[in-house]
Amino acid sequence: MYRDEIVARLRLAQMLSPAFPIGAFAHSQGLEWAISSGQVGNSDDLRDWIEAVLTLGSARVDAVFLSMARRPGADLDALSDLFDAYLPSAERALEAAELGRAFQALTRPEMAPLPYPLAVAEATRDLPLPEAEVLALFLQGVAAQLVSVAVRFLPLGQTQGQRVLARLAPLISEVARAAVGAGEDELWAFAPGADLAAMAHETMETRIFRT
């Protein structure tokens, strides 16, 4: 069993690594617009932005959907429809669909397309690991994605970026634990700045990232 857990943990780390080739590097979730508009200009701003996404925004909602979809007998079609209903912008829908499609091509190519958090749920349901660990690594991937955006777009070195990510670890653990076993009553978000940034990104004439 111990060796099985090690293999499962390695597989989980591989699937949720920023290096897993699903195209996450091409998406900024509106952070590109926030940087361009001067709302995020340094490592402290970046940490505040990511904290809001994790505790009040899309990452928190995604973690709840991930937990719901991992349960035995979960209706993935119904959850997929519900997930779509919670998407605040066209680019957010684009990102969830593109990452989900690419992720499934590598993990569950036989399945009908699912948005990214639900695709992750299907691929990790049978791993003999605590759900909090799965959710935490998923959220870590979201945070790492945003840090990578800032490292490429801000005057922010990789060392500073890694420091931001390290400081977020206790919060990531807290958000993950809170999402374990959560249901539809916990599907709420209040990060209007991040949502508006994602919407504003759609109208940028010059941009690096797809979202």
> Does 2 score more than 70 pLDDT?
no
208 inside domain: no
Please write the tens of the pLDDT for every residue from 104-157. Answer: 999 999 999 999 999 999 999 999 999 999 999 999 999 999 999 999 999 899
Q: Look at 32-36, 59-63, 200-204 and tell me which has the smallest mean pLDDT.
A: 200-204
Q: Is residue 15 part of a domain?
A: no
- Residue 9 maps to a domain: no
Residue 209 lies in a domain: no
Q: Which residues span the domain enclosing 39?
A: 23-201
CATH code for the domain in which residue 32 is found: 1.10.4190.10
Neighbour-count burial for 195-206, b at 16+ CB within 10 Å, e otherwise: bebbbbbeeeee
Which pTM was predicted? 0.96
The overall average pLDDT reported for the chain is 94
Is residue 1 very low, low, confident or very high in pLDDT (cuts 50, 70, 90)?
very low
Is the pLDDT confidence value at 37 over 70? yes
Q: How many domains, in total, are found in the chain? A: 1
**Residue 75 counted as domain residue:** yes
Residue 3 maps to a domain: no
10 lies in some domain: no
Residue 17 lies in a domain: no
Q: What is the DSSP string of the chain?
A: -HHHHHHHHHHHHHHTSTTSSS-GGG--TTHHHHHHTTS--SHHHHHHHHHHHHHTSHHHHHHHHHHHHTSTT--HHHHHHHHHHT--SHHHHHHHHHHHHHHHHHH-TTSPP--HHHHHHHHHTT-SS-HHHHHHHHHHHHHHHHHHHHHHHSS--HHHHHHHHHHTHHHHHHHHHHHTT--GGG-----HHHHHHHHHHTT-SS-SS--
